[in-house]
Amino acid sequence: MCSGPQLTGLTIEAILECLDSPIESIRGEVFNVGSDDQNCQIVQIGELVREVVSDLEVVCEGHDSGLANYKVSCAKIRRQLKFVPHHTVKDGIGEIKPSSSVARYPTIL
């Protein structure tokens, strides 16, 4: 399993964008980092992980596992900072590969 926070290309892109922005445009602000067209359900993330990390078993537990259906808006970071990510969710998964052959996450609902 991964220990501690890790930075993906997407996170680094966002940090650099903030560093290049005028302080007035970011002071006291909170941004969702990503793009609106890459919103995924938990089950979809699991499927992407399975594609990228072939030796990993992804287990969904509970009858509603991964069915969360809400979208995170990234319009603010795009509008205020003109941030458009160059990395995808799948890219991020490839950058942070778990060292364990089995990752188990309980239902988060």
Domain range list for the chain: 9-104
More confident position, 61 or 37: 37
DSSP readout, 63-103?
A: TTTT--------HHHHHHH----SS-HHHHHHHS--SSSEE
One-letter amino acid identity for 5? P
Among 93, 68, 66, 83, which residue's Cα sits nearest to residue 32? Answer: 83
How many CB atoms neighbour CB 107 within 10 A? 14
The token pair that represents 34 in the structure block: 């990503």
Digit-coded pLDDT (tens) for 54-83: 777 777 776 565 555 667 888 998 999 888
Whether pTM exceeds 0.75 = no
